[in-house]
A and B are shown apart, each in its own frame.
Chain A
Amino acid sequence: MKKLATLAVGAVMAASPVLADLVIPSLSYRTGPYAAGGIPFADGYEDYFTLLNERDGGIGGVPVRVIECETGYNTEKGVECYESTKGEGALVYQPLSTGITYQLIPKTTADDIPMHTMGYGRTSAANGDVFSHTFNYPGNYWNGASGAINYLLAENGGDLSGKKIALVYHNSAYGKEPIRTLEELSSKHGYELSLLPVDHPGQEQKSQWLQIRRDRPDFVLMWGWGVMNQVAIQEAANIRFPMENFIGIWWSGAEHDVLPAGDKSNGYKALAFHNVGRDFPVFDDINKYVVDAGKAAGAGDQVGNVLYNRGLYAAMLAAEAIKTAQGIHGVADITPGMMRDGMEALSITEEKMASLGMPNFGPSFDVSCENHGGEGLVGVAQWDAGSKTWSLISDFAATDGEVIGALVEADSSAYAAENNIASNCS
């Protein structure tokens, strides 16, 4: 039996060429029901690495090779993509889908490849003691839920008691993420929470919005994705729900979510864990080295969009982790295992971001062995339909670490018990 295994391993080894480059797979979805969200992210992710190659000659002198693989947001295709790219020496995976993330958490751990799920995926992966190879800095859904409540608290003079908050959510594992946090917080702050699930795909939401119109909640939070976002914003406008009291998660806050509703979407808010707009020096370089040079990943029309910035931000965090790993191990051509160490020792500061031409692009945070989730700082962005721009209206603020920490602890220890996972840090 041993022999079989060795043979199989041998076949994998033979298939992976030894090249001096840093391989970054990009599991994108430029097709399928969520293509509109997948295209800008994939463009931003790839463009940043192209920029590093063109401007700096790679990272630490080693060029980056991005391998794009189309998942169409489909779990099975995601498996195919993972298996086909991991042999190439992939340094870090960004699966960009809840389903694929869950799928890959045990696999990447067994294959010793780190995975970065930025603002999605399994929230309790913030506990690095259990999830050794999964990182979800700088923020997760529970930070998002708490961030939204904190923002509303600040807006209402620190008191939400007696207020009614409705959560409109995609009826899936993703959409149900914030419920527990919001329930905990509701008993803490005394607001009344009502839950309104929307079934996939969410093209028809009349029932939910009629109910909102009847119940007149003070605020509506939304965990939506895909066509659900556009329809929800349209319906909210139709029932004349005040847009400034309507807050979406970061996956419900891109240009294409609000544009179909036109002017009526003015004032809609969305959470953010990175900055928006194109008012950063790095975009000059991107225009110069990437877009104008004809090397853009997409059509080049997505530059500066919210999700493009998110891809850019993810790529920046990956590049910084590579630099950290190179520093730790003293090797330029790092392995996935070294990359993991780099991600675990990652420290993002304001100076670092400024030197990269991205001042205040995201919160500053530190990753440690126990904490794979960063500090969980969350900001709020608002849509201006007149100028068709998003702008950040609140700084990246701390979220309720006490409540979230307990939830993370409970969920991750349940996972550890179910799968016999030993402590990673001690």
Chain B
Amino acid sequence: MSDTFIFGMEVFLNGLMAGVLYALVALGFVLIYKASGIFNYAQGVMALFAAMTLVGIMEGRVPFSHLINAIFGTHIHHFGWHLPAVFGILFTVAVMAGFAWCVQKFIFRHLVGQEPIILFMATIGLAYFLEGFGDLMWGSDIKKLDVGLPQGINLLIDETTFGWFGYGFFIDNLDLVATVIAALLVISLIIFAQYTKQGRAMRAVADDHQAALSVGISLNFIWVMVWTLAGFVALVAGIMWGTKSGVQFSLSLIALKALPVLMLGGFTSIPGAIVGGLIIGVGEKMFEFLVGPLVGGATENWFAYVLALLFLVFRPQGLFGEKIIERV
């Protein structure tokens, strides 16, 4: 077997792993879009905010300490505790639920029945707000996030593949964990949606607001729930990316990685997000590997979109999007 083929296989596998991470971000978009028709621009900032809150709670940072110190001239920074990751995650989920409730209560309840573009715009406002709010609350420094996830090369895969090909493949442990978590997340979401009362209500709302309302489903409750779920997904994505790079502003930019995935997979399909993520992940990594050196590299950002574009020209509604039926 030629070297290029072996290297290509390694790149392919890593592309799949990267794709899972993209899919994780895209999942949050899909949840909200499906249930309420809102394209949530704030999803990236939510991931940042969730990760910041997690670190803040785990390290016992005092929220708004900078603001408090500036106003009262005090010098408080820490509560002086260190919480284990599990509690941190639980508390953060609670915070995200509170956030979801606020979003519903103060923003979207007042915008029921508006056009999609207006709902989109509201999430722009929300993104601005949350960005300022998060920084004000926890400060804008880089925070180290460690919830005990393994990182670094997986030796087992390295040795096995070395035995097969004479070249050990590199697979990051964190990526493996991310894949497992993403799989669990999707499976539990599907089980939740198929077999629980709330899940069925959620699907009913996604299908038809009016009909759902008329059989006694509380739209408000479902929407708060969906935003909480999206907040949870954002937290998971935030943990995965934050473990690698530290929690910092750039985390909010991962939303840009999710956009081509969404376009490709369709805004309304959870399997679409997963498959789309995998295609984008593999596609951009393989292109960088095969064509990148010829054109000077750093092609990943734009190639993801070109790839999505090529797919869309043939299937304008995305891979798994509902067929667009237009009537006059």
Contacts and interface: CB of A to CB of B under 8 A. Distances in A.
Contacts of A206: 14, 17-18, 172, 285
Interface stretch (B121-129, B177-185, B249-257): B249-257
Interface stretch (A44-52, A236-244, A395-403): A236-244
Contacts, number: 112
A256 B246 contact: yes
B248 interface: yes
Residue of B17, B145, B241 most packed against chain A (CB within 10 A): B241
A244 B6 CA distance: 29
B315 interface: no
Nearest to B73: A294
B141 interface: yes
A39 interface: yes
Contacts of A35: 135, 140-141, 248-249
B77 interface: yes
B170 A227 contact: no
Contacts of B297: 171, 195-197
A304 B10 CA distance: 43
Contact of A32 (B11, B66, B172, B249): B249
B289 interface: yes
Interface in B223-263: 241, 244-246, 248-251, 253-254, 257
Interface stretch (A80-88, A156-164, A259-267, A275-283): A259-267
B296 interface: yes
B244 A234 contact: yes
B87 interface: no
Nearest to A211: B289
Contact of A239 (B73, B146, B153): B153
A199 B152 CA distance: 23
Interface string B11-33: 10010011000000000000000
Nearest to A198: B298
Contacts of A294: 73
A204 B246 contact: no
Contacts of A203: 241, 244-245, 250-251, 253-254, 257
A165 interface: no
Nearest to B247: A260
Interface in A229-259: 230-231, 234, 237-240, 256, 259
Counting chain A CB atoms within 10 Å of each CB, which of B11, B18, B140, B289 scores highest? B140
A260 B11 contact: no
B285 A264 contact: no
B288 interface: yes
B299 to A, nearest CB: 8
A32 B140 CA distance: 8
Contacts of A32: 140, 249
Contacts of B292: 207
A327 interface: no
A299 interface: yes
A201 interface: yes
B310 interface: no
Contacts of B151: 234, 237-238
Interface in B153-204: 153, 170, 172
A231 B21 CA distance: 15
A8 B298 CA distance: 46
A176 to B, nearest CB: 11
Nearest to A200: B301
B59 interface: no
Nearest to A37: B142
A288 interface: no
A213 B167 CA distance: 11
B69 interface: yes
A238 B14 CA distance: 13
5 contacts: A35-B141, A171-B298, A203-B257, A207-B292, A238-B152
User: Across chains A and B, which 4 residue pairs bring their CB atoms closest together, nearest first?
Assistant: A260-B246, A227-B250, A197-B298, A35-B140
Interface of A: 30-33, 35-36, 39, 171, 195-199, 201-204, 206-207, 210-211, 213-214, 226-227, 230-231, 234, 237-240, 256, 259-260, 262, 264, 294, 299, 301
Interface of B: 7, 10-11, 14, 17-18, 66, 69, 73, 77, 135, 140-142, 144-146, 151-153, 170, 172, 241, 244-246, 248-251, 253-254, 257, 285, 288-289, 292, 296-298, 300-301
